[in-house]
Structure 1
Amino acid sequence: MDYFKTDIEKLHHQLANGELTSVDLVQSTLEGISQIDPEVQAFVTVNTAAALKQAEAVDQAGIATDQPLAGVPVAIKDNIVTKGLKTTASSKMLANFVPIYDATVVEKLTAAGAINVGKTNLDEFAMGSSTENSAIQVTKNAWDHTKVPGGSSGGSAASVASGQVVVALGTDTGGSIRQPAAFNGVVGFKPTYGRVSRWGLIAFGSSLDAIGTLTRRVRDSVPVMNTIIGHDDKDSTTVDRSAEDLGAKIGQDLTGMKIALPKEYLGDGVDAAIVAQVQAAAKQFEAMGATVEEVSLPHTKYAVPAYYIIASSEASSNLQRFDGIRYGFRAQDVKTLDDVYVRSRSEGFGAEVKRRIMLGTFSLSAGFYDAYFKKAGQVRTLITRDFEQVFENYDLIIGPTTPTPAFKIGDKVTDPLTMYMNDILTIPVNLAGLPAMSVPAGFVDGMPVGLQLIAKHFDEATLYQAGAAFEDANNYVDQIPGGQA
């Protein structure tokens, strides 16, 4: 199956009309993975037998016209639990963990007939921006195998960008869907916090985590998101707005849409060539009838330190469960209970995870809570208010997704502060709980760059409207690694 030349709508049409069977489609997908992935290394587990069995069941049941995902292969980031299929979070700590239940999003996709063909690589416990922190393997950028795919959803982004699957689920805590989408020239969609259940997502930052999609086309994200949104009794942070069609505004004219371009997103540290691409995108939106004006989000400069205090503090709490007692890695030849805890965590966690646990534990400690964690929460409120003030007058915010294109593997992995700053343009969205999307916006030195679109809470429909219009106005979706589609 050539996923560079098809989309979910075409696949559904072929499957529903009997021109293609789900078994044939899944078999072709698995063959593609076996040919492409040894070099890209996007997958950590391929779900061969179960995927084919599920495809047979879909074919036997038949595919109705109102089942857009039935028979369609999907990849799942390996921090989303899958019943009976190893879920590692790309960590030694969970190297052999086989869950006994499915995450809510997996349940919903399975009920819709989608086929889980495998689990994708990530930075360990989703902590990183390059997928180099994986304890399993280093995924390669689909466009240049010497460069990183971004992170933490680097495996999901690379699996789509390299043509192995049409859609993959990712997770976004501080930009972990949008940043790898930008690096790989695909579409990354992060919904409003609370749109999608986090039940069965291995928690990193519970007030920040969101499950979303990586696709080559904007429209391919819609049926997946429409399937996985909605209230879940097992996640008290979810909202009940599942009747909405997030793609309802696709195709509508952009005339009269007011778009904000924050000056802080085009400032120091952002590659001049990326700034030029964003400014060109702004002109395209104006040509389509929108108004684009410069605005200010003054507290943006505080987003990275506030985020890393909040996210690390929540990670410190969430990762307490991995103690060498209940499940997961347990150190050998231990003599005391303290040894079990200390050695299991020391040997089971990688350097970046330990760094964030230590930072979070420090921020939550008695003498420093007010100075760090509480202050970060106050900054978060200021950042949220900045967005609210802009959205009083504008429908959408645009800007670059990342400050630079993808960098070389190994270039920044030993410099955590530089790596953290790579997320400066995506982090504010998570702190405010807003929906956002990265769409391909051109190339710099032969590598893809992304345009980030940000909307107000629960206004995903406007994101899809603007994102699809921008995609239609360009030929970036026709550009593929290694040449033209």
Structure 2
Amino acid sequence: MSSLPPSSPLPSPARQLAQAVQSGALAPQAPAEEALRRIRAAGQLNAVLSEVDPTEQLQAVQQRLNAGETLPLAGVPVILKDNLSLRGSPTTCASRMLESYRPPYTATAVQRLQDAGAVVVGKANLDEFAMGSSNENSAFGPALNPWGEGRVPGGSSGGSAAAIAARLTPLTVGSDTGGSVRQPAALCGVYGFKPTYGRISRSGLVAYASSLDTVAPFALSAADLALTLGVMSGHDPRDAISLNQPADFTGAPLELSGLRVGVVQEGLPGCTSGVAAALDEMRRALGAAGAQVQEVSLPHLKNAVAAYYIVAMAEASSNLSRFDGMHYARRAEEGAGGAVQSMLHTREEFFGAEVQKRIMLGTFILSSGYSDRYYTKALQVRRLIAQEFEEAFRQFDVLLMPTSPFPAFRLGERSGDPLAMYAADVNTVGVNLAGIPALSVPAGFETVDGQRLPVGLQFSARAGDDARLVALAAALEQLGAVQLETPDGYQDFSL
């Protein structure tokens, strides 16, 4: 499957850069300057909404290195999805509503990256308020997939996925509410990891659906994934659901012999030929390595998309009620109607169509007489889906299914059909409903209309078993079962 020899893991650009900076072989400012150069050169991707001046961060890194500190991410440039707060820098959520917002604090996950020596150099494009599966809902225009002209990078973390796929930085960070890191990771041919709910603090992440939201990294190797997760994870008293369960991501590659892998039947229908072929090849490779691969059924997973969108829209309606122009964010003129009319005009003028639709549907779902019919029933289905995952993990160590049934689609191809767009999440939302960890692995390519496009496969594990998935990624690299390449016209991040 891969051009790499079976004994050779993938290069780890973040780890290698950090080691070079830590040893003094590379000045801390060199990676940041190179990242900013690449961001400007790749402006056509519209992956990055704003640059971040790294001067103060670099000074802090240099001072700490001079003091003899060991920084696991020393000087590594990072791009953040623009719904993660960074003190004093734009945090727009790709919305006109927050176009001028500058938070007075930094998200916990971001602070932990900086504490480890990482340097934030940009804020990435996304679907407005993380509501979308293609990055076409951004108020500042869509991000583009570097693998195919006119193709979407996926969403909602499309800018972060496109940026790392184009090697603008060796690490990027997004958020995953229903697949918003894993789906674009699959469409852009990189790793995307959705941690156990509560593993990484949500403090400083602008909320979309609070019972589903997770901060989640993109990476170019299992080693970089382990490094980033180890830095960002950990209990945070500022997040009420933050787990106080340590996780060690420094373990050896997972032993594949005897590994019990369940292939989820509900993830098979509707897959394109290239996705099906990648799944078949992964099953073959795992079986040849001694894993026990069998199919398993999760019958209620067919209801996951419906349950997810009911829960997510209801929570979005509540979370976005604060954006009324009265306290912060933009505000429309009051006019003769006073404050109430100003609130109405603010939300109408500065929220995009998709955000308005989800707020209205969520408000309807929670309204008197309809809450039991829709919201309560969705929560019941959510519980059934979580129970089915729990039962499956009594029989299997990990579950396998395609991340997306299809590779990257063209801009506008699905935007006129909401149901077709929501179908892009069919294989990812169940994991969020269950709160379990999942990893999208770059596993092949499919040629569509002459364009060679990446395909991703998703492994999930029981809640809290995040480290197993990272160790599995390392084992798949050694097996040669990961196909991670650089798109034509771009080069690996090295100095």
TM-score bucket (shorter structure): over 0.9
Q: Which residue of 2 aligns with 1:95?
A: 99
Q: Which residue of 1 aligns with 2:332?
A: 331
Query: Is the alpha carbon distance of 1:161 and 1:65 closer, same or farther for their aligned partners in structure 2, counting shifts above 3 Å?
Result: farther
For residue 223 of structure 1, report the CA deviation from its aligned partner.
Answer: 1.4
Query: Is the alpha carbon distance of 1:287 and 1:173 closer, same or farther for their aligned partners in structure 2, counting shifts above 3 Å?
Result: same
Is the contact between residue 260 and residue 396 of structure 1 (CA under 8 Å) also seen in structure 2?
Answer: yes
- Separation in 2, partners of 1:197, 1:431: 18
Q: Which residue of 2 aligns with 1:12?
A: 18
Partner secondary structure for residue 437 of structure 1: strand
Is the contact between residue 90 and residue 103 of structure 2 (CA under 8 Å) also seen in structure 1?
Answer: yes
Q: Which residue of 2 aligns with 1:255?
A: 257
Q: Which amino acid aligns with 2:90?
A: K
Partner secondary structure for residue 467 of structure 2: helix
Partner secondary structure for residue 105 of structure 1: helix
Partner secondary structure for residue 75 of structure 1: strand
> Does 2:54 match 1:44?
no
- Separation in 1, partners of 2:69, 2:115: 15
1:252-291 paired onto structure 2 within 5 Å: 252-267=254-269, 269-291=270-292
- Separation in 2, partners of 1:285, 1:273: 18
> Does 2:240 match 1:239?
no
- Separation in 2, partners of 1:451, 1:86: 34
Partner secondary structure for residue 135 of structure 1: coil
- Separation in 2, partners of 1:432, 1:91: 29
> Does 2:189 match 1:189?
no
The Cα offsets for residues 184-239 of structure 1, whole Å up to 9 and x where unpaired, read as 00000010001111111100000000001011212211111111111111111011
> Does 2:71 match 1:59?
no
For residue 416 of structure 1, report the CA deviation from its aligned partner.
Answer: 1.2
Among residues 423, 445, 469, which one is paired with 2:475 in the alignment? Answer: 469
Is the contact between residue 40 and residue 145 of structure 1 (CA under 8 Å) also seen in structure 2?
Answer: no
Partner secondary structure for residue 149 of structure 2: coil
> Does 2:24 match 1:21?
no
Q: Which residue of 2 aligns with 1:204?
A: 208
For residue 451 of structure 1, report the CA deviation from its aligned partner.
Answer: 0.7
For residue 35 of structure 1, report the CA deviation from its aligned partner.
Answer: 1.1
Partner secondary structure for residue 419 of structure 1: helix
The Cα offsets for residues 7-33 of structure 1, whole Å up to 9 and x where unpaired, read as 122112211221101111211111121
Among residues 126, 140, 146, which one is paired with 2:144 in the alignment? Answer: 140
> Does 2:135 match 1:131?
yes
Query: Is the alpha carbon distance of 1:195 and 1:419 closer, same or farther for their aligned partners in structure 2, counting shifts above 3 Å?
Result: same
Q: Which amino acid aligns with 1:465?
A: A
Partner secondary structure for residue 50 of structure 2: strand
4+ long deviations beyond 6 Å: none
Q: Which residue of 2 aligns with 1:455?
A: 461
Is the contact between residue 23 and residue 59 of structure 1 (CA under 8 Å) also seen in structure 2?
Answer: no
Structure number with greater CO (CA < 8 Å, separation at least 6) is 2
For residue 442 of structure 1, report the CA deviation from its aligned partner.
Answer: 0.2
For residue 357 of structure 1, report the CA deviation from its aligned partner.
Answer: 0.6
Q: Which runs of 5+ in 1 are unaligned?
A: none
For residue 65 of structure 1, report the CA deviation from its aligned partner.
Answer: 7.7
Partner secondary structure for residue 97 of structure 1: coil
For residue 435 of structure 1, report the CA deviation from its aligned partner.
Answer: 0.2
Query: Is the alpha carbon distance of 1:441 and 1:319 closer, same or farther for their aligned partners in structure 2, counting shifts above 3 Å?
Result: same
Query: Is the alpha carbon distance of 1:398 and 1:247 closer, same or farther for their aligned partners in structure 2, counting shifts above 3 Å?
Result: farther
> Does 2:119 match 1:118?
no
Partner secondary structure for residue 395 of structure 2: coil
Q: Which amino acid aligns with 1:431?
A: L
Among residues 401, 409, 425, which one is paired with 2:427 in the alignment? Answer: 425
Q: What is the percentage of aligned positions where both structures have the same residue? A: 44
Is the contact between residue 12 and residue 220 of structure 2 (CA under 8 Å) also seen in structure 1?
Answer: no
The Cα offsets for residues 366-412 of structure 1, whole Å up to 9 and x where unpaired, read as 11011000000000011001101100011000110001100001111
The Cα offsets for residues 18-77 of structure 1, whole Å up to 9 and x where unpaired, read as 1101111211111121112x11111001013xx133113312321768421121111111
- Separation in 2, partners of 1:418, 1:277: 23
For residue 285 of structure 1, report the CA deviation from its aligned partner.
Answer: 1.0
Is the contact between residue 443 and residue 483 of structure 2 (CA under 8 Å) also seen in structure 1?
Answer: no
1:69-80 paired onto structure 2 within 5 Å: 69-80=73-84
> Does 2:314 match 1:310?
no
Is the contact between residue 70 and residue 112 of structure 1 (CA under 8 Å) also seen in structure 2?
Answer: yes
Aligned residues: 476
Q: Which amino acid aligns with 1:39?
A: Q
TM-score (norm 1): 0.95
The Cα offsets for residues 313-369 of structure 1, whole Å up to 9 and x where unpaired, read as 000000000001111111125322221111100111100001111111111011101
Query: Is the alpha carbon distance of 1:176 and 1:434 closer, same or farther for their aligned partners in structure 2, counting shifts above 3 Å?
Result: same
